């Protein structure tokens, strides 16, 4: 019943945030950052076991490991970018949140370039002539 712990923590944090937001909005933002980080760290343990299974499947299917590593990197960038953008949006800074999302999109595109090149190369090999 790990979800019960997380729900309890979330509700307690919500009440504390409601109290803090009236007096010290900065402290409220910091508390929401800390809550996000705690949930993230707790969930990363589970994520690691999922990724281990996927790694094992990749090894058995004899897919090129490079693609899986790129996929993992993209996943990490996406999660971190989403995390930071959500906090910025929560604090009312829409412009900063949009810039974080923009940067994470561009970094993901750069990471995905080698995969795109591999697809194009295999397409060229398949095509006759």
Positions touching another protein (CB under 8 A) are 9, 12-13, 16, 19-20, 23-24, 26-28, 30-31, 33-35, 37-38, 40-42, 44, 47-48, 51, 69, 72-73, 75-77, 79-80
Give the Cα separation of 79 and 71 in Å (integer).
12
Nearer to another protein, 26 or 124 (CB): 26
DSSP code, position 129: -
Tokens of 115: 């995969």
Nearest approach in angstroms of CB 61 to another protein is 19
Q: How far is the CB of 62 from another protein (least distance, A)?
A: 19
The smaller minimum CB distance to another protein, of residues 38 and 120, is found at: 38
Shortest Å distance, C-beta 17 to another protein: 8
DSSP secondary structure code for residue 96 in this structure: H
Between 19 and 117, CB nearer to another protein: 19
Nearer to another protein, 72 or 116 (CB): 72
> At closest approach, how far in Å is the CB of 111 from another protein?
10
Task: Please tell me whether residue 93 adopts helix, strand or coil conformation.
Answer: coil
Do 104 and 78 form a contact (C-beta atoms < 8 A)?
yes
Output 100-107 pairs: Cβ under 8 A, ≥24 positions apart: 104/77, 104/78, 104/80, 105/81, 107/77, 107/81
């Amino acid at each position: 019943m790990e979800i019960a712990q997380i729900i309890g923590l979330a509700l307690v944090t919500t009440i504390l945030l409601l109290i803090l937001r009236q007096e010290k909005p900065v402290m409220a933002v910091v508390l929401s950052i800390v809550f996000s980080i705690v949930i993230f760290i707790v969930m990363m343990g589970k994520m690691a076991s999922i990724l281990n299974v996927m790694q094992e499947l990749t090894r058995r299917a004899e897919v090129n490991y490079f693609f899986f590593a790129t996929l993992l990197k993209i996943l990490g960038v996406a999660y971190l970018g989403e995390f930071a953008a959500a906090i910025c949006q929560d604090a009312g800074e829409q412009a900063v949140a949009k810039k974080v999302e923009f940067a994470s999109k561009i970094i993901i595109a750069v990471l995905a370039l080698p995969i795109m090149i591999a697809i194009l190369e295999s397409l060229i090999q398949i095509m006759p002539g």
